[in-house]
Each structure stands twice: as C-alpha cells, then as structure tokens.
Amino acid sequence: MTLLVTGGAGFIGANFVLDWLAQHGEPVVNLDKLTYAGNLETLASLEGDARHTFVQGDIGDFALVSRLLAEHRPRAVVNFAAESHVDRSIHGPGEFIQTNIVGTFQLLEAVRAHWGSLSADEKAAFRFLHVSTDEVYGSLAKDDPAFTEAHRYEPNSPYSASKAASDHLVRAYHHTYGLPVLTTNCSNNYGPFHFPEKLIPLMIVNALAGKPLPVYGDGMQVRDWLYVKDHCSAIRRVLQAGRLGEVYNVGGWNEKPNIEIVHTVCALLDELRPRADGQPYASQISYVTDRPGHDRRYAIDARRLEAELGWKPAETFESGIRKTVQWYLDNPQWVAHVQSGAYREWVGKQYSDTPAVAA
C-alpha cells in the first residue's frame, strides 16, 4: 500500500510526510515541483528511507502523474501542491491559475483515468483527498458565526479564487464521475518548516535579524490558527474515515488578531532569546500599508470533523506557538538556507511596495 502525496516538500505537505512515515509503515511517493516554496532540506531526515520516493515534477504533467499512478498503484492521493501565498497572488496571479486550477484539473484527469482501470475492490478503497483553505469562504464581519461547510463560496483574492475553483473541480469529479474524493478546508497553519514569507515565521526571522516587523493596516485582522501537526492528524483521520464526497472544515478554535500574534511572538523571543541591548522585540513593530482586498476575519467551525470523526487538535495556541518559536531558534541553518536570493528578491519587492505608515 502506497500514498501519492503532492506538494510534499512544502510546509504542510512535508510535515504530513514526516508524521505519516513516523507513524505508518506505508510508503509515500512525493511529487513536488520544487518551486521557491519547496525545500528538500525539510525532508533530509528521510534520506536513505526506502519508504520515501521523491519525484520532482508538476501535478499538471498528465503523462508523469499517469506513469507514477501506474507504477506505484497508490491507494490514495493527497493533494497539497499549490501556490499558497496571498501577497504573491496579488503581484502575479498567473502561476496560481496554472497550478491551482489547471494543475488540479490535470491531476484529476490522470487520477480519474487510473481509477477507472482498477478492480471493483481497489476502486472502492481508493481516495483522492484535496487540501484546501478557509479563504474560499471569503471574509467574516466581527460577530458573524464561524464558517461551516455550508457557507457560500466568496473568495476575494486571486489565491482564494484559484483554490475555490479547484474545490469545485474536485466536487464535480465526484458528482459526475463518482471519483471517491474528500476535501478539507483548513484555517491558517503555523509550526516547523514554515516558509518565512508568512506572518509567524516572518516575524520570528525579522525579529532575530533586528529588522522591522511589518504589520499590515491596523493589525486587527483576525485569523484562526492551527498547529500544523494538528492539521496533519485531521487529514489522516479524514483519509481513514471521511464520508466520500464530503467536505470537512479543520480549525483550532484559535481566533486572534494579527497584532496579538506579533506581540506573543515578541514576548516569547524576549523570554527565550532576549535582545543584546535589553530592549523588547515589540519595539521593532512597524505598521505598513495594508494588503489590497485584505480579508478582515476568518474563523472555522470544526464541529463536523469533531462530531463525525472524533478529531480534536492536540495543541493549544499557547503550547503550539512556544514550540514553533523554539523550533526556529533551534534551526537557524534551515532558515538561512531558505533565505536564498529568490527569497531576498521577494522580501525586497513586497516590503518596498508596502511602506511604513504612522502607528
């Protein structure tokens, strides 16, 4: 029995592969294009592990995916591969359309053809799990109830619109062709191996480097944070027992305004790695021009997953964020290596376009 994981060199996919192989004997074929966000160093601990086969390639490459399916005959495909950063989608939506929509379509086509060739028993056991985001539901007002799976799709960024399109394709392949799909829509993840273009790792990395901590707008946008390993356990559970064609929202009941997150990170660094001059890291906070079309609030209602499949997150935000900050302090080499020329180019471009504003 084998699993085909796509995007398994990225933040969540790599955490998933590492946890999966730590807990199961089942081999993983890991298909990843290795864009700027994919990093084989994250998977270094699997070197020499015969259960992990890494293949560099594109989910949109029908011939390659078909070959991998025929060769390895996985019992499931777990699709993490995507362009994932909202700010990048604002600067250049093209790659998001290509990978998230066209790529998912080609992947579904290859999987559909393969699934059609299986025996009745294999067909019944097969799963295609699509990993998606709460951002497809749009933005909530302050007192709105959290997103349920029945919330209408109202994506606001090129990223969320492209993910929404992929979700619709996955749904259609179930409805039309009977493909045994499962979809998970998760809130913001954080944890080890998170690329430092996203809020939490960017704040940790910038704080330690003595750089400004850029908070967009008034910093009162709310996100619902989930420790990445809890997301991975939710995916394992949905893969094991989710109802076919069903959607499961995944969240940690941890709604927090961005500015509170930044202060929490600063306070942990003050405790664990105080600045040489004794000043608090919070003095580096710099309010910058807001993101265009910035969604105000996301919040996930994860009751379906809890009630039907008995899943609950293991970490509180307090325990998860402490582990995360400690991980970045313990792994300066990983951080240094991902801060390549391409990373520096992005940070230079993004934060020169978002100048500091008076607090």
Between the two ends of the chain, the Cα-to-Cα distance in Å is: 56
Residue 144: name the closest of 224, 228, 227 by CA: 224
Give me the least distance between CB of 219 and ligand NAD, in Å please.
18
8 A C-beta contact, residue 202 and residue 196: yes
Residues 97-116 that bind ligand NAD (CB under 6 A): 99, 103
From the list 38, 158, 214, 242, which residue makes contact with ligand TYD (rule: CB under 6 A)? Answer: 214
Q: Which lies closer to ligand NAD via its Cβ, residue 180 or residue 251?
A: 251
Residue 59 partner contact from ligand NAD, ligand TYD, none using kind-dependent CB cut-offs of 5 to 8 Å: ligand NAD
8 A C-beta contact, residue 203 and residue 196: no
Q: How many C-alpha atoms does 285 have within 13 Å on its Cβ side?
A: 23
Give me the least distance between CB of 9 and ligand NAD, in Å please.
4
Applying CB under 6 A, which part among 55-63, 68-76, 150-158, 299-307 lies near ligand NAD? 55-63
Per-residue tokens: 334: 């990983």
Give me the least distance between CB of 189 and ligand NAD, in Å please.
4
Q: Where are the alpha helices (DSSP H) in the chain?
A: 11-23, 62-72, 86-91, 94-96, 104-116, 120-125, 158-177, 199-208, 228-241, 258-272, 303-309, 317-330, 332-338, 341-352
From the list 36, 62, 153, 216, which residue makes contact with ligand TYD (rule: CB under 6 A)? Answer: 216
Instruction: State the sign of the Cα–Cα–Cα–Cα dihedral 253, 236, 335, 55.
Output: negative
Interface with ligand NAD, residue 227, by CB under 6 A:
no
Answer yes or no: 159 catalytic. Answer: yes
Give me the least distance between CB of 256 and ligand TYD, in Å please.
10
Answer yes or no: 134 catalytic. Answer: yes
Residue 12 partner contact from ligand NAD, ligand TYD, none using kind-dependent CB cut-offs of 5 to 8 Å: ligand NAD
From the list 3, 21, 37, 335, which residue makes contact with ligand NAD (rule: CB under 6 A)? Answer: 37
Interface with ligand TYD, residue 347, by CB under 6 A:
no
Residue 53 is classified by DSSP as E
Quote helix, strand, coil % in the chain, to nearest 5: 50, 15, 35
From the list 5, 10, 164, 266, which residue makes contact with ligand NAD (rule: CB under 6 A)? Answer: 10
Q: How many C-alpha atoms does 305 have within 13 Å on its Cβ side?
A: 30
| CA distances from residue 329 to 145, 207, 299, 322, 333 in whole angstroms, order as listed | 37, 11, 29, 11, 10
From the list 4, 5, 28, 32, which residue makes contact with ligand NAD (rule: CB under 6 A)? Answer: 32
Give me the least distance between CB of 262 and ligand NAD, in Å please.
17
Catalytic residue among 87, 135, 167, 224: 135
Interface with ligand NAD, residue 82, by CB under 6 A:
yes
Q: Which lies closer to ligand TYD via its Cβ, residue 42 or residue 84?
A: 84
Residues 180-199 that bind ligand TYD (CB under 6 A): 188, 198-199
Residues 6+ positions from 60 with CB-CB distance below 8 Å: 98, 99, 102, 103, 105, 106, 107
| Residues annotated as catalytic (active site), given as ranges | 134-135, 159
Where on the chain is the footprint of ligand TYD (CB under 6 A)?
86, 188, 198-199, 202, 214-216, 221, 223, 258, 291
Q: Give residues in contact with ligand NAD (CB under 6 A).
A: 6-7, 9-13, 31-35, 37-38, 58-60, 80-84, 99, 103, 131, 133, 163, 186, 188-189, 195
